[in-house]
Amino acid sequence: PDKQPVAALVEAAARRHGVDPAFALAIARRESAFRQTAVSPKGATGVMQLMPATAARYGANPRDLEQNIDAGVRYLRDLAGMFDGDPALVAAGYNAGEGAVIKHGYRIPPYRETRTYVPRVLESRSEYLQCRQP
C-alpha cells in the first residue's frame, strides 16, 4: 500500500483511541516511514515497529497492517496515560520502553537513540499540525 492509505489508517486508529492523529502520524513516520514491511535489527515489525512483546500485550499480529497500527496507537494511548500526556515522554517511552522512562525519573532516558528520536517525532508532529491549519 502507498503512504496515503496507511496514513489514513493511522489517523483513523488515533481518532478511535483518543490519540492526537498528528502525533500518531509522527510516530509512524519516524518508526517506519509508513512501511509495513519494515523490520528493525531489534525485531520490531511493521508501520508502528511493534516489538514482539508489545504486539502480544495488545493481542496483535504485527505483520497484519491494521492490527499493527491499532496496537501501536493503543500503546501510545496507554503511554499518554502513564506520562500525563507529555508528548516528549510518550515518544521516549515508545522508543525506549516505559520502564526506561520510569527508571530515569520520568525523564527522557540518556540513550543517544532516544535523545535523537524524541525531537524528531516532535518536529514531525509540528509539521503535521501545520499542514492542518486553515
- The residues that are catalytic are 31
Phi, psi of 48 (to 5 degrees): -95, 5
CA–CA separation, 107 and 127 (whole Å): 24
CA–CA separation, 115 and 9 (whole Å): 28
User: Is residue 33 within 8 Å of 42, Cβ to Cβ?
Assistant: no
Alpha carbon 42 to its chain centroid, in Å, reads: 16
CA–CA separation, 132 and 9 (whole Å): 17
User: Is residue 10 within 8 Å of 28, Cβ to Cβ?
Assistant: yes
